[in-house]
Chain A
Amino acid sequence: MTSIKENITLISDWFSKSGWKAHPFQKKAWKYQLNGYSGIVNAPTGSGKTFSVMLPIFAPYIENKETPEGLQLIWISPIRALAKEISLSAEKAIAAYGLNWKVGIRTGDTTTVERQKQIKNPPQIMITTPESLHIIMSSRKSKVIFDSCQVVVVDEWHELIGSKRGVQTELFLSCMRGKHPELKTWGISATIGNLPEALDVLLGPGQDDKRILIKANINKKILVKTIMPDEIERYPWSGHLGILLLDKVVPIIQSASSTLIFTNTRAQCEIWYQKLLEYDPSLAGIMAMHHGSISKDMRAWVEQALYDGKLKAVVCTSSLDLGVDFRPVENIVQVGSPKGVARFVQRAGRSGHSPGATSKIYFLPTNSLELIESSALRKAIKEKRIEDRTPFVRSWDVLIQYMMTRAVGGGFKDVELYEELIKTFCYSSMTKDEWSLLLNYILYGSQSLRAYDEYHKIGKTKDGIYLVNNRGVAQRHRLSIGTIVSDAMLQVKFVRGKKIGTVEEWFVAQFSPGDNFWFAGMSLEYVRIKDNFLEVRKSKKKSGKIPSYMGGRLSFTSQMSEVLKEKIYEYGRGEIKDVEMKKLIPLFEMQELRSRMPREEEVLVEYFHSSEGFHLLMYPFEGRNVHEGMAALLGQRLSKLLPISFSLAYNDFGFELLSDKQIDVDKILTKELFNPRNLEQDIQASINSVEIAQRKFRDIACISGLVFTGYPGKEKRQKHLTSNSRLIFDVFREYEPDNLLYLQTYDEVMAVELQEDRIYTALERIRNKKIVITKPEKYTPFSFPIMVDRLREKMSSETLLDRIEKMKVELVK
C-alpha cells in the first residue's frame, strides 16, 4: 500500500521529467481526491485543470503498470467537440505512466458497433455527455459498465448547472451514488457567482464533510477596448446592428493573425459577414461564418481551419462561446451588448491562449447608450462580479423521463429510488405525496386513480419493481431521451448536393418557390420543399431576406444591471472618468436638460404627450425581463384605479406604458403601486401568463414524453401519435389542472421567464427611493430607444368577447 504522499510523487514524476511544475491547486486537488474527497476545481481554461482531476485515478496502478478490469473514470463533458481533446490528454498521461489503459468516447456521434464494443469490453476511461449516460442507463447492461467506476468528473460544470442537462447530470450521479456511496465526484468550473451552491448541486446538499472547493487563483488578464464612434452626436440612439462602425473593425482584423467577431443573433451574424465582404473583398476565402443553424460539417470545417490558423476572421454567435481552444485567435470583437459579465469574459477568453498572454476584446456599441456598458463591463471584470448560474429545481419533466429510463433499464423500486432522489439538490424538497403522484402518473397515465383503461407503458412486478417489458415502448423512450428541445426545423440543402444547415419552419413558411434569401453567407433561391428538406440553389441576386431567429432577445443579468446603474449614477456625483463615459457627456447633458439624469436615490419617471398618445416611462435599469413583468404589473394596478388600456414596451433600461388617455401622474403614481405584496397573483393576472405558459409547455411536454417527435431519419413520422403541445396544454388546463407537469410550467414562467425574485427586489428598491417625475417636451435619449421598439404588447382587462369585437379577422396569410 502506497501512501498518499508517494502517490502524489508518482503522479507528479511525469511533470518534473517533462520540465513542468505542478501548480499548487493541482497538487491540492490530487491530495484531496486521493484522500477520498469529492469537490470542485475552479480554474480557467488552459491552466491545467484537466490533469488536476484526471491523474489521481492512475496513481495506484503506476508502480506495477496494472490495467484494472472495467470502467474506472467517467468524464462528462457538455460539449461533444471537447471529447477528442480530453481523450488526447488522457492518452498522453497513460503513455507517460507507461500504462496500457483504454480511452473511449461515447457521444451521439459514436457508431453502434463502437457502442456495443464499449459494453462488451469497457474502456478504463470513458468520455461522454449527460444524454449518452442516460441512454446507457436505459440499457439493461448498464450495471455491468458502471459498477467498477470509481470517479466521475463533470467538466464545464458551470455550463451544465443552469440547464436541465444539469438536472440529468444530478440524476445520473444520484443513481451511481445509490449503488456506490464511496464514489468520488469532481467538477471543473469556471468562475460563477454561486460556486458553493454549485458544489451542493453536484454532490447533493451538504451530506458529508468530505467535500472541498479548490480555487486555482489564476488571474487571466483581460483588456477591454471600445470601438468609438467619431462623433457621439451623430451616432444613433437606438438600433442593434452596429454596421456604421464596420470600417473600424477591418483594421482590427488586419492587425492580428486571427479575430473572432461575436454577434448576438444569427441574423446579425449573416449581415455582418455580408457587409464585411462587401467592404473588403480581399477577405474572401480567409473569413468564415459560424452559427448554430449552419450544418455540422461546415461548422467542423470552420473550427478546423481556425485551429490551423487558416482563417483571418470568423463572424460567429454564441455557437463559438465554448469548445476547443483556438491558439491563433488574438482579438475578439463583441458587436452589441453581451447582456452579461460572464458571457463577455467567456468570449474575451477565446483569445490570447499562450501562457501568460492577455485576452483582448473590443466592444462595439450598436447605439450610443451601449457605450456605458463597455465601461460597466470593465468595472465588473475588475471587481470580479460574475453572475450566478441558477440550478433548476423540481423539474418533474426530467424526473418522469428518468423514471422511464430506469424502468426501461432493468427497473426500479419505489423506496430505493425515492431515497436516491431526495439526496439530490433538484428534488430534495419533493414530498412523499408528490412522489406518489409521479408514480401514479407513470403507472396509470394519470395522477388520479381511475378505472382501468388501456393505458400501458410500465408494469409493476409482484416484488414491487417498476419495469418496462414492451420493446416498442423501450425503443420509443430511448429515442426521446434528452432535454434540449428545438423548434421544428427544416434542413437546407442544394438540389443536388450537400446539406448547408437548418432553418425554422416558420421562416420558410413566408416564402414561395423562386424567392431569394441569405443563409450561411450565400444568396440562395428557394426551389422546393421535399420531405424534411428545403431544397435551394445558389442565386446571383443581391437582395433577399435573412432568416431571423427566435431567442435573440436576451435580457441584462442582475450583475450587469447593477454595474450599469453604478455607472449612470457617476454623472450625478460628478465622477465621470472613463473615456466611454466622457464621450457620452453631451448625451447625458441632453438627458439632464430635457428631463433628468437619475441620481442614486431616485427613480426617474418621464411623462409626455406625442401624436401617438400619452407616454409614461420609468427607468429602473433592471433588465428587459424584469421590466416586462414590472410594466405589466404597473399597468394592471393602474387599470384597477381607473379605466384605461395600455400598450407596453421595454428594454434593459426601462419600460413604457402608452395610452390614449391622459392621467394625473403626480397624483396617481404612488409608492403603493410598487408594493411587492400579492406580486405573484397580480403578475399572473396582468400578463397573459396562459399564453406564455402555453409556449413554455412545449419543452416540458417533449421532455416528459407527452410529445413523441418521431424516429430520426424516418421521413414518415408516426402521424397518428403526433399532436401539438398547445392542444395537450389545453386538455391539461381543462381536465387535470393539478397535474405536476402543468404546474411546473407556471413555476418556470415565474422563475425563469419573468424572474419573480428580481421583480420583487426591484420593487423593494423603488419603495426606498424617491420617485422623480419629469415632463419633457419631447422624447429623451433614454426614452427614444424604448419608444421605437416594434415589439409591443397590449394589455387589457376586457373580456374575450369584447376583445373579439375589436379585432379583425386575418384575411390573408
Chain B
Amino acid sequence: MKEIIIQNEKLVLLPQKAIYWEKEEALLIADLHLGKIAHFRKYGIALPPQSEDKNWATLSRLIRKWKPKKLIILGDLFHSQYNDQWENFVDMTDRYSDVEWILVKGNHDVLRDNHYHRSNLKIYPYALQMSPFLLTHEPDEIFEGLYTLCGHIHPGIRMKGSGRQSLRLPCFFFGTKVGILPAFGVFTGLHVLHPEQEDKVYLIAEEQVVPISI
C-alpha cells in the first residue's frame, strides 16, 4: 500500500492492483478480464479452472475492506464473448448493491446489451470525467486540464541486475499527463514499459507496492 498525490488528490495504490481514491471513496480497477480462463476452457484449452476464483475472491475482499461508494472499472471487464462466468459477476453486483458499479468500456467489452442490463452496471462507452481526472480505458484519450487514469496497457517493468538477472513485474505507471493501472485479472500478461526520468513507477512484488527510482 502506498499513498501518492496526483493533481492534489490522494490516491492509495493497492497491491491487489487497484487504486483507492480517497475523496470520492472510489475503487479504480482496470482490465479484469473476467471469464478469460473460462473462455479458453470453452475452446478446449485446459487451464486450471480454480484460477478464475482468485479474481472473485480478490474483488470481494477489496469491497469488504474499503467499503467504496463507487467501484469504477476502467475497461476490459469481461473477456470477449459471453460465458457462464458473467452470471457470477451479475450476482456480485447484486450482493454489493449499495456500491455504485461503473464501467468505462474497453475494447474487450463486447457483450450484448441485455447482458449488461441484467447487472447493476452504469456504463460509459468512452470516458468518464471526474475532475481532476479523465477516466478511460486507453491511454491516448487526453483532455486539456484533466489527468487521464486508464488501463489497457497491462503495464510492467523489466528490472536488470548484474550476472544476467532479470525480472518482469507488473506496475502502476504515472507519466506527466497519464496514469496507467496494472491489469487486475489473473492470466493477463504484461507489456514492458520503458519509463523516462519524469515518470513515476510503483512495482507490485510479493503483495507489496514498491516505488522504483528511475
Contacts and interface: CB of A to CB of B under 8 A. Distances in A.
Given A706-B46, A739-B48, A454 B189 contact: no
B64 interface: no
A804 B205 contact: yes
Interface string B28-53: 00000000011111111111111100
A736 interface: yes
Contacts of B49: 445-446, 450, 453, 455
A700 to B, nearest CB: 13
A273 to B, nearest CB: 31
Nearest to A741: B46
A473 interface: yes
B161 A794 contact: yes
A231 to B, nearest CB: 36
B50 A803 contact: no
A454 B45 CA distance: 11
A235 interface: no
B163 A793 contact: yes
B208 interface: yes
A642 interface: no
A441 interface: yes
A791 B208 CA distance: 32
Nearest to B201: A809
Interface string B167-210: 10100000000000000001111001011100001010110101
Contacts of A731: 37, 47-48, 51, 186-187
Contacts of B50: 448, 450, 735-736
B195 A811 contact: yes
Interface string B150-170: 000000011111111101010
Interface string A780-793: 00000000000111
B83 interface: yes
Nearest to A404: B44
Given A457-B44, A706-B47, A720-B39, A727 B189 contact: yes
A540 B74 CA distance: 52
Residue from the set B44, B163, B192 with the largest chain A CB neighbour count within 10 Å? B44
A453 B41 contact: yes
A454 B39 CA distance: 8
Contacts of B160: 807-810
Nearest to B212: A809
B164 A454 contact: no
A810 B194 contact: yes
Contacts of B210: 801, 804
Contact of A446 (B46, B206, B212): B46
B40 A721 contact: yes
A793 B165 CA distance: 8
Contacts of B43: 721
Given A647-B163, A723-B40, A809 B214 contact: yes
Nearest to B40: A721
Contacts of B167: 800, 803-804, 807
A227 interface: no
B214 A811 contact: yes
B164 A808 contact: no
A811 B37 CA distance: 33
A445 B159 contact: no
Contacts of A457: 44, 46
Residue from the set A441, A721, A813 with the largest chain B CB neighbour count within 10 Å? A721
Interface residues of B, number: 46
Interface string B118-160: 0000000000000000000000000000000000000001111
Nearest to A451: B49
A442 B46 CA distance: 8
A770 interface: no
A208 interface: no
Contact of B157 (A454, A735, A809): A809
A804 B46 CA distance: 34
A456 B44 contact: yes
Given A456-B42, A706-B46, A731-B187, A801 B205 contact: yes
A794 B163 contact: yes
A705 interface: yes
B136 to A, nearest CB: 23
B84 interface: yes
Contact of A813 (B48, B194, B195): B194
B198 to A, nearest CB: 13
Interface in A542-578: none
A457 B51 CA distance: 19
A328 B192 CA distance: 53
A812 interface: yes
Given A720-B80, A723-B187, A739-B48, A455 B41 contact: yes
B85 to A, nearest CB: 8
Interface in A433-487: 441-442, 445-446, 448, 450, 453-457, 473, 476
A734 B162 CA distance: 28
B38 A453 contact: yes
Contacts of A800: 167, 205-206
Contact of B208 (A441, A455, A801): A801
A736 B41 contact: no
A432 interface: no
Contacts of A720: 39, 80
Nearest to A658: B163
Contacts of B169: 804
A705 B48 CA distance: 14
A791 B164 contact: yes
A803 B165 contact: yes
Residue from the set A731, A794, A806 with the largest chain B CB neighbour count within 10 Å? A731
A16 interface: no
B84 A453 contact: yes
B162 A794 contact: yes
Given A724-B189, A809-B214, A455 B205 contact: no
A453 B157 CA distance: 35
A307 interface: no
A237 interface: no
A732 interface: yes
Residue from the set A727, A739, A800, A804 with the largest chain B CB neighbour count within 10 Å? A804
B13 to A, nearest CB: 16
Contacts of B205: 800-801, 804
Contacts of B51: 731, 734-736
B118 to A, nearest CB: 19
Contact of B48 (A724, A732, A791, A803): A732
A454 B187 contact: no
Interface of A: 441-442, 445-446, 448, 450, 453-457, 473, 476, 647, 705-706, 708, 720-721, 723-724, 727-728, 731-732, 734-736, 739, 791-794, 799-801, 803-804, 806-813
Given A454-B84, A456-B44, A720-B39, 20 more contacts: A445-B47, A647-B162, A706-B45, A708-B45, A723-B189, A727-B187, A731-B48, A731-B51, A734-B51, A736-B51, A799-B206, A803-B161, A803-B167, A804-B205, A808-B159, A809-B157, A809-B212, A810-B158, A811-B195, A811-B214
Q: Please give me the 9 A-B residue pairs with the lowest Cβ-Cβ distance, nearest first.
A: A794-B163, A445-B46, A736-B48, A457-B44, A807-B161, A807-B159, A735-B48, A455-B41, A735-B51
21 contacts: A442-B46, A448-B50, A453-B49, A705-B45, A721-B43, A723-B187, A724-B189, A727-B188, A731-B186, A734-B51, A735-B54, A736-B48, A801-B206, A801-B208, A803-B161, A803-B167, A809-B157, A809-B158, A810-B157, A811-B196, A812-B194
Interface of B: 37-51, 54, 80, 83-84, 157-165, 167, 169, 186-189, 192, 194-196, 201, 203, 205-206, 208, 210, 212, 214
